[in-house]
Amino acid sequence: MEGIVTRNVEGYTVDDFAQNVFKYVRKGHVKTDDHWTRKWKRASLINEGGGYVDY
């Protein structure tokens, strides 16, 4: 497992994001020299014809 991300079940504003989301990843999780932002691509959502579903 690489890590976990959790959030509060209740809704919150974008401004309150940092107080409502928690992320924990294992030590040594990223082992590449390239920064992830150079190759990252946004996953298309199911309503955009992609296979990714965000529940």
pLDDT at 2: 77
Q: How many CA atoms lie within 13 A of 1 on its CB side?
A: 5
- Return the amino acid letter for 17: F
Place of tokens 């959502």: 45
Tell me the pLDDT band of 50, cut-offs 50, 70 and 90: low
Higher confidence at residue 36 or residue 39?
A: 39
pLDDT averaged over every residue in the chain: 79
Higher confidence at residue 15 or residue 41?
A: 15
pLDDT at 55: 54
Higher confidence at residue 4 or residue 2?
A: 4
pTM above 0.85, yes or no: no
